[in-house]
Structure 1
Amino acid sequence: MYNAQAFSRSQWLTHIMLSIGLSLFLASCAMAPDYQKPELGLPTQYHSDLAQVSQSNLGLSNWKEFYLDPDLQVLITHALAQNLDLESVRSRLIAARSQVTITDAALYPTLELGLDAERSVDSGITNTDPDHSNEFTFEGTVSWELDIWGANQRRSEAEYARFLSAQDTLNLAVISLISDVASRYYEWLDIEQRYQISLNTVNIRKKERDLARLRKQNGVISGLEVRQAEVEYQSAKVTLPNLDFERQEKSNQLKILLGEFIYPLEIKTVTEFNTDIQLFPNSFSVGVPSQMLSQRPDVNAAEQALIAANANVGIAKTAFFPTFTITGSYGTETDDLSRIFESKGVTWSLLGGITAPIFNAGSISAQYQVSQEQFKQASLAYRSTVLRAYFEVADAMNSFRRSKLAIEAQQGLVVASREYTRLATLRYRNGVSSSLDLMDAQRSLFSAELTLSQVKRDRLLSMITLYRALGGGVLSQQELMKIHSPEKVGGAKENKGI
C-alpha cells in the first residue's frame, strides 16, 4: 500500500489509462488463424425439372405457405407449442445464449467493491491500559487478464459459434417436428381410408355371401360357390384387425408429437380424402445447390461446429505464450465508519503479473495437436453433411417424380377394375358368367383401391420429404424463442375421432 501523499489520484488514473491503452494495443496481436469457408465443389444445378429458378424456392417458404390443409395447420401449431422434446432443445438454446455472455465477460475488466471492518484491542499482558481501536476500509478493485494473444477473443468466437449451432439445432428440431406431424397425420388418414375401404368391402361381400346362400337354397348354385363367397368375405374381414391396430398406433404416435395424452383427431371421410383439395402449392422449384447451404439447419450447424473448432486451434496455440494480468485498487481508511467517504486516508495499489509456461511434460503441444485434429474432424463432418444433404434433395426429387407416375398408373388400374367389376356383376346377375368371375373382379378392385390409397399417401410423404430436405420450415431467432406457450393451442374440438 502507498499513501496518497506520495502519489496523487490523477497520477494513479493516468497510469491506469496507460496500462489499459497498452493492453488494447497488445490484444490486437491475435495469433489464432482466421476461419476460411471450405471449398465444396457443389454442382451448379440439380438434374431435375424442379430445379427452375423462375419459381419460388420451396425451401424458403414458410410452413404455413406449404402445408395448406387447415386441419394440419392446427396440429402443427399445437405441436410447436406443446411438444416436450422441442422445449428441451429450446432450453439448451437459452443456456447457450447465456454461456456466450459468460465467455464474453473475460474480454472486460472486473470491478469489485469491498467494505472491511476491524476492531482490535491491545494485549493486557503487554499493556496495562489496553486500548480498543477500529479500522474501516472501503476499496474498489479492478482486475484484468490482458488478451494479448487473442485467446479470449477466440473463446468468445467459439462460444458464439456454439450458440448459433444450438439455434440451428433447434431449427432442425422444428423442421423435423413439423414434417413428422404432417407425415404421421397423412399416414393416419391413409390407414383410416383403407379401414373404411375394407369395411365397405366386408359389407358388400357379406351381402354377396348371403345372396349366394339364398340362391343355393333355391337350387340355382352349388355349395362350392357358397364356400367361395364365404372365403372372399372372410378374406376381406381378416384385414380389419391389423388396420384397426395400425390406426390406433399411428394416432398414438401423433399424440406424442402433440405432447398430449388425449387429443380429438378429425377423421376425414374417404370422399374428402380423395377429392383434389389443395394440400400443397401448385408450383414450386428447389433452387440451386448453393442455396441449400443456407437453408438447411444441419449444414449450418456443422459449419458453426467447424468455426468453433477453428477458434479452439487458436486458443490452444496461445497456451505456448505467457499470460499477463493487471490489478488496481483504490480506497480509503478511517477509524470512524460515518466518515468513510470523507477520510483523507487514501490507499491505492497497482500490480502486474506475468505467467509463462516452462515445463508441462508436453501437454500444451499435445493439446495443440488435439485441437488441430478436432478441426480436421469438424471439416470432414461438414463436408459429409453437405454431401448427404445434396443427395437427400436429389433422392427426394426422384421420389416425388416417381410418386406422380405411380398415382397416374394406379388411378388407371382402379378405373379399369371398377369397370371390370361392373360388367362382371351384370354378367353374373344375368347368369352369363359364374361367381368366380365376379369374385375375381371384386378382389382386383379391392386390392387396387387399397394400393391407390397407399400411393396417394406416398405422394404426400414425398412432398413432405422434399420440403424437409430443402430445409423448409426454418424460423427466425425471435420465432424460435416464442414458439412455446404453457397454454393449450387451438382450443377444444368436438371429438369426432379417436
Structure 2
Amino acid sequence: MQNVWSIAGRSIAVSSLALALAACQSMRGPEPVVQTNIPESYTASAAGTSVAEQGYKDFFADQRLVQVLDLALANNRDLRTAALNIDRAQQQYQITANGQLPMIGASGGVLRQDTLNTTKPITSYNVGLGVTAYELDFWGRVRSLKDNALDSYLATASARDATQIALIGQVAQAWLNYAYANANLKLADQTLKAQLESYNLNKKRFDVGIDSEVPVRQAQISVETARNDVANYKTQIAQAQNLLNLLVGQQVPANLLPAQRVNRITATNTIGSGIPSDLLNNRPDVRAAEYKLSAAGANIGAAKARLFPTISLTGSAGYASTDLGDLFKSGNFVWSAGPSLDIPIFDWGTRQANIKVSETDQKIALSDYEKSVQSAFREVNDALAVRQNIGDRIAAQRRLVDATNTTYKLSNARFRAGIDSYLTVLDAQRASYAAEQGLLLLEQANLNNQVELYKTLGGGIKANSSDAVQYQPSTTERKAAATK
C-alpha cells in the first residue's frame, strides 16, 4: 500500500508541475497595431463633456417619452433576444472555462462472463471514481480557448448595449414622428377649411356671373389636394403608432402619445460632444469590435498550440470483487493512472493552415475594429454638421412663413376687393402652406438631430446620470496590465 501512495504522490507532483508550466506558457502572438486615422477633434465640435454621460431620463425632457422608453426597455423583443444571447455566451464561457479543470465521475458496473479457465460463468462487481481525459495544458491551448470565450461573451454584452442605444433612438424618433404627423394633420385640416371657404366664395361669384368657372375649378383643385393631404397624414399617424407599438413591444397607452407638436425634446441647453477618444468608451459597438479583435488573437494561440504534443491524463480508483458482499473490503481496492500522448507528425499542413486562417481572421477583426471607429466618428460628424446649421435654417424658414402668410392675407384682401384675380390668391396660399409644412419638417429634423447626436455619441446606456457603468477589460488588456 505504501508503494501505491508513493506512486500516487509522484503523479500528483507531476500534475502540479504540468499545471505550473501551463500557467507560464502561451502561444498567443503580439497584438496588432490599430490605425484608425481619425482627427483629434470633430469638424464642428460642441464644447463641454460628452452628452453621452447623461442618463436618458435626464436627457429627455418629456416625461411621457421617458415612460415610453421604460416600456420599450422592458418589452422590446430585439432587446430581449440580445439579453438571451448574453446568457448563452455566458454559459458557453463557463463550459470552456471548465475545460481547465479535471472532470471527475463515478462509475459502477456488473460483468458476468464465461472464460476458458472456468467451469461456470463469473460475475464481477466494481465501483469507483475516475478522471477522464484531463488535458495538461502545457502550451495554453485550453486557456486560449477560454480567453476567446470570455472575449466573445464581452462582445455579446456590448452588442446588447448597442441594441439598447439604437432602441432608445428609434423610440424617441418614432414618438416625434407621431407628434409631427399630428401637427401636419392639423395644418392640413386648417388649410382644407380655408380652401373650402375660397371654393364657396368663388362658386358664389360664378353663380352670380361675376367670374368665370376657371377660379371655381382652381379652388376645387386646392380643396381636393388638401383633402388628399388630410387622408395621407391620417395614414402616417396610424403607421407611426404601429411602429411605436412594435418598438415598445406592446400597445402604447394613449396618455403617453403626443397629441400636438413637440417643441423641446431635451432639457439640455448645450449638447456637448466631448472628444473622439470618448467614443472608444461610450460606443458599445466599438467596444464589441475590440473584444472580437481580442478573441481573434486568442484563437491564434489555440491554433499554434496544436503544433505541439497534447498530453491527457486519465485515472481511476475504486473497488472490484467477484463477490458483492466483499466489494468494499480493503484487499479489493484497485486503481489505475496513465497519460496519453498525441504527437503531430504529418497532417498534410492542416495545423499550419489553421494558424494562417486564425491570423487572417485577426486581420479581418482588426479591419472591422478600425472601420467601426471611423464609422462612429463619421456619424458624430454628420450629426454635428446638421446641428451647426439647423438653427439658421429654422430661423430662415420662420421668416419665410411670415412672409408667405402676409402675402396670402394681402392677396386674399385684394381678391375680395376685386383688384387681383384668384390665381394670385391661389399661388400665395400654396406658398404659405408649403412654407408651413417646411417649418414643421425642419423643427422635427432639429429634434431628431438632437436624438441622433445623443445616440451617435453613445448615450442611452444609463437611466440616470449618476449611474456608474463599468466595462470589463478584454483578455488583451488584462495580459498587457499583467506584464506591466
Shared fold (TM-score, shorter chain, > 0.5): yes
Q: Where in structure 2 are the equivalents of 1:29-40 lying within 5 Å? A: 29-35=25-31, 38-40=34-36
Deviation at 1:365, TM superposition (A): 1.3
Matching residue of 1:488: none
Matching residue of 1:360: 347
Tell which deviates more after alignment, 453-462 or 323-332. Answer: 323-332
Name which of 51, 55, 60 aligns with 1:62: 55
Matching residue of 1:103: 96
Change (3 A) 1:346 1:132: closer
Matching residue of 2:222: 232
Matching residue of 1:494: none
Change (3 A) 1:139 1:433: closer
Q: Where in structure 2 are the equivalents of 1:198-209 lying within 5 Å? A: 198-209=188-199
- Residue 297 (structure 2) pairs with residue 310 (structure 1): yes
In 2, Cα distance between equivalents of 1:167 and 1:193: 39
Change (3 A) 1:444 1:105: same
- Contact 2:104–2:129, Cα closer than 8 Å, also in 1: no
- Contact 2:27–2:300, Cα closer than 8 Å, also in 1: no
Deviation at 1:19, TM superposition (A): 1.6
SS of equivalent residue, structure 1 residue 7: helix
Deviation at 1:342, TM superposition (A): 5.2
| Counterpart code for 1:101 | Q
Change (3 A) 1:387 1:126: closer
Deviation digits for residues 333-392 of structure 1, max 9, x if unmatched?
345656655534222222122211011011111111111111111111111111111111
Tell which deviates more after alignment, 72-81 or 338-347. Answer: 338-347
Tell which deviates more after alignment, 331-340 or 208-217. Answer: 331-340
- Residue 65 (structure 2) pairs with residue 72 (structure 1): yes
Where structure 1 has 5 or more consecutive residues not aligned to the other structure, the ranges are: 481-498
- Residue 448 (structure 2) pairs with residue 448 (structure 1): no
Where structure 2 has 5 or more consecutive residues not aligned to the other structure, the ranges are: 471-484
Deviation digits for residues 474-498 of structure 1, max 9, x if unmatched?
2599999xxxxxxxxxxxxxxxxxx
- Contact 1:334–1:343, Cα closer than 8 Å, also in 2: no
Name which of 412, 420, 425 aligns with 1:438: 425
Deviation at 1:188, TM superposition (A): 2.4
Aligned residues: 466
Q: Where in structure 2 are the equivalents of 1:261-272 lying within 5 Å? A: 264=254, 267-270=257-260
Matching residue of 2:154: 164
Change (3 A) 1:193 1:46: same
Q: Where in structure 2 are the equivalents of 1:331-410 lying within 5 Å? A: 331-334=318-321, 337=324, 340-341=327-328, 343-410=330-397
Deviation digits for residues 393-452 of structure 1, max 9, x if unmatched?
111110222322221111111122223333334444444544333333322211111111
TM-score, length basis structure 2: 0.87
In 2, Cα distance between equivalents of 1:108 and 1:457: 59
The percentage of counterpart residues that share the same residue type is: 27
Matching residue of 1:257: 247
Deviation at 1:34, TM superposition (A): 4.7
| Counterpart code for 1:23 | A
In 1, Cα distance between equivalents of 2:264 and 2:449: 17
Tell which deviates more after alignment, 299-308 or 421-430. Answer: 421-430
CA RMSD of aligned residues (A): 2.9
- Contact 2:126–2:318, Cα closer than 8 Å, also in 1: no
| Counterpart code for 2:34 | P
Matching residue of 1:25: 20
Name which of 107, 121, 135 aligns with 1:114: 107
Change (3 A) 1:475 1:327: farther
Matching residue of 2:451: 464
In 2, Cα distance between equivalents of 1:107 and 1:37: 30
In 2, Cα distance between equivalents of 1:77 and 1:146: 50
Deviation at 1:94, TM superposition (A): 1.0
Matching residue of 1:42: 38
Deviation at 1:56, TM superposition (A): 3.3
| Counterpart code for 2:368 | A
Deviation at 1:314, TM superposition (A): 1.3
Deviation at 1:214, TM superposition (A): 2.8
| Counterpart code for 1:415 | D
